[in-house]
Amino acid sequence: SWSQMLGVTSLTPFQPSPSHVIESWSSSCLSRTQQMNYRPASQSISNSASWEKAFRDYKKFHNQCSQGRNWTLQFLEDATESNHSRDSHHSASSCGVLVYVEGSAGMGNRLLSLVSAFLYSLLTNRVFLLDSRGHLPELLCEPFSDSSWLLSSNFPFKALDEATTLGEFDQAAALAGDFSAQVVKLQLDHDQTISDQRFFCAETRKALELVPWLVWTSNQYYGPRFFTFPELWEPLTALFPNVSLTFTHLSRSLLLPSNSVWDKVTRMYSSYLTHVDQLLGVQIRRHSVDDRGRYDEAAFHRILHCLTGRKFLPNVGLSNGSMRQESQTPGRYSPPRVNYAVLVTSLQIKFFEELRDLYTNVATVDRSLVRVHMVSHEGVEWHSFDQDQKAFIEMWLLSLSDRIVTSSMSTFGYIAQGLGALRPLVVDLRGEISEQTSASMESVCYFGQSIEPCNHHTFYPTGSNCAVNQTTLSDIHLAWIRSNLLPCQDAPAGLQLA
Ligand code: GDP
């Protein structure tokens, strides 16, 4: 079973029942069914019936293709076959595959690219399989009922790493039907080359339909970009009528913590973050070239100014005479209700300590109580399993908040806001921050225009490198793009669904 493969023990005893297959599937991944119990009512989003159906259909397809098939043997067989059937891979006997290779980026980047790769698989009828060398297989639940997404540890992964890249792939030959590539690697990282960018040409994607195995390596979110592909636009708008929930639907189906991770998420949540009027998530991420994640006072002041200026937290000010009235009736002290619990996530503990000390030492002007928490402070970023797990737990905890504050350009924050269907308040913490600069509140602390993550790197071929020029998009598609895809607020060269 998957749970054995993942080394996860089911926390719910198995109850045989007529629908035991479904039951064992849902109890094998507790976060799938329990996540809504932890989300505030404000986060409930209307289901997209078409997405639910497409995901169910995909699971059936995944099962059918996996039945009785050993992917390692299948790969060896396909890779040695010199002249693959000219029919597209969708014939009954063979199923096209897309393998997601995890790479070494941060958790946020990896999860965004995993979701993008899966969406592309689903839209192009490929079985989505996961490289088992990375950390994600242990951190995530198996998302598809009855058959695994994991390639086994004896899979020849090196062959995937060394596969033909788009630059070496002869798409003209493929389109002419004279074609032999069995495995093609799509390198879609931020530092992709001009030849990798041929993926953004419709004719390349057409030629790739004939390739039985695609390998996807990336650290980017491509949701918005897929909506610009002429062949995907209509299916996508049918799946996600409310485009600003695209990533929310995908992530709530796919980025589910495995039982052992979920156990930690729920324990931390129940120990620290419940029984409050409002739970506020504050994600503090500094991207500076020299010293990643550094604390400095100017950054702290900017965050505080933003939190109080935008009324996410009350101001402090009454240093005396502010005692709350206690009941005069003798008896055991009963603590007042906490008005705000704040979960601070950051590599640096000092951001948390400063905020906690402020709200402990000085009373708030409206006498409300603010309790501040942090669950980890790793100091530096180095992507060990343990650090990836902490990062994933914190993204999930942030996503359970009533309101969220994120740092600009951070994919860590994008995952939290997307899972939570939360429109963030964004603080710009990039580069040097000086106390002297009188940056306006609007420019350094603004409300997100959307729940969606930003596709940071959008400016790939706009036609010139493609045989079929992008300007051949239909007028109706172009009009749709103009009103639904916006430049990102934190990365104006990027694209965001809004
Ligand atoms: P981005 O660099 O902000 O886009 O976010 P990523 O998640 O891609 O990469 C940042 C990595 O740094 C994470 O994977 C973590 O390993 C680490 N990191 C950064 N901020 C935090 C934090 O607040 N909490 C934890 N636990 N790790 C963090």
Calculate how far, in angstroms, residue 366's C-alpha sits from the geometric centre of ligand 1.
34
Total of domains in the chain: 2
**Residue 376 CA, closest ligand 1 atom number:** 26
CATH classification of the domain holding 385 = 3.40.50.11350
User: Which residue of 255, 351, 381, 396 sits with most ligand 1 atoms within 8 Å of its CB, as the best mutation to test the pocket?
Assistant: 381
Asked whether residue 277 is domain-assigned, the answer is: yes
Asked whether residue 9 is domain-assigned, the answer is: no
Asked whether residue 492 is domain-assigned, the answer is: no
Calculate how far, in angstroms, residue 138's C-alpha sits from the geometric centre of ligand 1.
18
Asked whether residue 405 is domain-assigned, the answer is: yes
Q: Is 288 in the pocket of ligand 1 (CB under 6 A)?
A: no
The pLDDT, as a whole number, for residue 447 is 98
Question: Do 234 and 268 lie in a common domain?
Answer: no
Question: Do 205 and 267 lie in a common domain?
Answer: no
Q: Is 346 in the pocket of ligand 1 (CB under 6 A)?
A: yes
Question: Do 201 and 291 lie in a common domain?
Answer: no
Last residue of a domain, one of 416, 431, 447: 447
Q: Is 429 in the pocket of ligand 1 (CB under 6 A)?
A: no
The pLDDT, as a whole number, for residue 182 is 95
Q: Is 376 in the pocket of ligand 1 (CB under 6 A)?
A: yes
List all residues 6 or more positions away from 11 whose beta carbon is below 8 Å from its beta carbon: 30, 259, 263
Question: Do 281 and 424 lie in a common domain?
Answer: yes
Length of the chain: 498
Last residue of a domain, one of 234, 254, 274: 254
Question: Do 129 and 147 lie in a common domain?
Answer: yes
Q: Give me 443's structure tokens.
A: 């420019």
Q: Is 285 in the pocket of ligand 1 (CB under 6 A)?
A: yes
340: buried, middle or exposed (CB in 10 Å: 19+, 13-18, 0-12)? buried
Question: Do 153 and 266 lie in a common domain?
Answer: no
Indicate the residue type of 433: I
pTM of the model: 0.91
Q: Is 105 in the pocket of ligand 1 (CB under 6 A)?
A: yes
Give bridge partners of residue 241 from the DSSP assignment: none
Question: Do 294 and 423 lie in a common domain?
Answer: yes
Q: How far is CA 399 from the centre of its chain?
A: 11
Asked whether residue 161 is domain-assigned, the answer is: yes
Q: Give me 14's structure tokens.
A: 């198995």
Question: Do 215 and 286 lie in a common domain?
Answer: no
Calculate how far, in angstroms, residue 430's C-alpha sits from the geometric centre of ligand 1.
15
The pLDDT, as a whole number, for residue 432 is 84
The pLDDT, as a whole number, for residue 462 is 54
Question: Do 245 and 265 lie in a common domain?
Answer: no
Question: Do 270 and 220 lie in a common domain?
Answer: no
The pLDDT, as a whole number, for residue 332 is 86
Asked whether residue 468 is domain-assigned, the answer is: no
Domain limits for position 377: 259-319+335-447
User: Which residue of 255, 412, 455, 490 sits with most ligand 1 atoms within 8 Å of its CB, as the best mutation to test the pocket?
Assistant: 412
Calculate how far, in angstroms, residue 244's C-alpha sits from the geometric centre of ligand 1.
24
Q: Is 410 in the pocket of ligand 1 (CB under 6 A)?
A: yes
Last residue of a domain, one of 204, 227, 254: 254
Give the Cα-Cα-Cα angle 98, 128, 132 (nearest 5 degrees).
90
Q: How far is CA 487 from the centre of its chain?
A: 19
Q: Is 106 in the pocket of ligand 1 (CB under 6 A)?
A: yes
Asked whether residue 473 is domain-assigned, the answer is: no
The pLDDT, as a whole number, for residue 146 is 85
For residue 86, count other CB atoms closer than 10 A to its CB.
Answer: 10
Q: Which residues of the chain have pLDDT under 70?
A: 1-27, 82-93, 288-292, 318-328, 436-438, 458-465, 468-471
The pLDDT, as a whole number, for residue 1 is 26
Question: Do 285 and 430 lie in a common domain?
Answer: yes
Q: Is 404 in the pocket of ligand 1 (CB under 6 A)?
A: no
Q: Is 347 in the pocket of ligand 1 (CB under 6 A)?
A: yes
Calculate how far, in angstroms, residue 29's C-alpha sits from the geometric centre of ligand 1.
25
Asked whether residue 347 is domain-assigned, the answer is: yes
**Residue 415 CA, closest ligand 1 atom number:** 7
Question: Do 204 and 267 lie in a common domain?
Answer: no
Q: Is 381 in the pocket of ligand 1 (CB under 6 A)?
A: yes
Complex ipTM value: 0.99
